[in-house]
A = this chain, B = another copy of it.
Amino acid sequence: MLIRELSLRTGASIRSVRHYESKGLLEARRLANGYREYDEDAIAKVKTIQLYLNLGFSTDNIAQIINCPTLPQNDRPLCKEAYKLYKVKLDEVNKQLEILHSIQLRLQERMKEFE
C-alpha cells in the first residue's frame, strides 16, 4: 500500500509516518517512482509506535526498543539500554496504574452520587 492508505488505516498523518521513518522506526520499500510502499505489517508497526508515543516514550527511545531484537550481536549493549528503558517505564506504568485504579474507584463513587 502507499503512504496515504497507511495513514488512513492507522490514523497517523502522512507527515508523521514519514517522520517515524526518518527516526528509524519504520521502513518502506521504494517503487520505481520513488513512492514508498508498505506491506500489511506496517499497520501494526505504526500502531505500536503510536502506543509507545502515547505512553511518553520519545522516538529515540522507541527506536532503541524496536530495533533491539534485530541488531547484530556486537550492538548488544544497545539492547541492554533498551531493556533498562523497559524496566523504568514498566515500573512507572505499574505504579501509576495502581494510582489510576484507586482514583478511578473514587471517581466512580463520587459520580454515582450525582446520577
Please give the residue numbers on chain A whose beta carbons come within 8 Å of chain B beta carbons, in ascending order: 48, 51-56, 65, 68-69, 73, 76, 79-80, 82-83, 86-87, 89-90, 92-97, 99-101, 103-104, 106-108, 110-111, 114
Contacts and interface: CB of A to CB of B under 8 A. Distances in A.
A53 B51 contact: no
A104 B79 CA distance: 12
A56 B51 CA distance: 10
Contacts of A103: 65, 86
B100 A68 contact: no
A73 B104 contact: no
Given A52-B96, A99-B51, A114-B73, A104 B80 contact: no
26 contacts: A51-B99, A53-B56, A54-B56, A54-B92, A55-B55, A55-B93, A55-B96, A56-B56, A69-B107, A69-B110, A73-B114, A76-B114, A79-B107, A79-B110, A79-B111, A83-B107, A83-B108, A86-B104, A86-B107, A87-B104, A90-B100, A90-B104, A93-B97, A93-B100, A94-B97, A97-B97
